[in-house]
Amino acid sequence: MRARALRALCFHNQTLQAIDAFDHAARHFLIEDCESGLIVCSFRLATFDGAGLKHSYSAQFYDLSALAAFDGPMLELGRFCVHPDWRDPDILRLAWGRLAAEVDAQGGKLLFGCSSFSGVDCSAYRDAFALLNAGHLAPTKWQPRIKSPEVIRFDAQDLADARLGMQSLPPLLRSYLAMGGWVSDHAVVDRAMNTLHVFTGLEIAAIPPGRKRLLRALAEPKRAVGH
């Protein structure tokens, strides 16, 4: 219940208090502040193979038929949110440490999901989308195709300010890209969630060895974070 309340707060959407079909198929993870008992971060993970990928949350919005040929387990990260009043970078580090442990335990080869930009006004993210288009698109063989009725194609954007573009990216997406992650060539307009989101993938084999060692070190059990 506390995790669902955090979702509603972070996404400004009270309907997220309810459990959906994807919740039932996923494992759920929480980061809690030991002093207050407050849930400061939550996310869910579900594991798929190529044949089952059509049942993922992301497949509602993207044609993932190209990824059906991907060799190995794929873990979908969803509903990732951090309490808006908490800015401690250790929260994201703890989350990535837990993700690393789960990827190792499942033998995961790809971590994927939808990276969300708040609101549906694409003009606020012109530089961010141009930055993604300039150097972070998925390999052609894995590129998600258009499925949703309302999308924003990145190829129409001109990169004016790379620094502003990077600052406009959600923190989770910046982490994906820093490890070699890639995105779809378009954003989906999700008016029900009041977000724009892009499909994001991270091939585990592509993560630099030094970063993998750091992530596994972060996977050591921890409970508390500072405010």
Specify the CATH architecture of the domain 2-218.
Answer: 3-Layer(aba) Sandwich (3.40)
Q: How many CA atoms lie within 13 A of 193 on its CB side?
A: 17
What does pTM read for this prediction?
0.91
Residues 96, 102: Cα–Cα separation, whole Å: 10
pLDDT, tens only, 116-172: 999 999 988 999 999 999 889 999 999 999 999 999 999 766 666 888 889 999 999
Domain segments of the chain: what residues?
2-218
Sequence-ordered alpha helix ranges (H) in the chain = 2-11, 21-24, 89-106, 126-135, 162-167, 171-178, 209-218
pLDDT in tens, 194-227: 999 999 999 999 999 999 888 888 866 554 444 4
| pLDDT at residue 30 tops 90 | yes
Residue 114: closest CA among 9, 186, 221, 6: 186
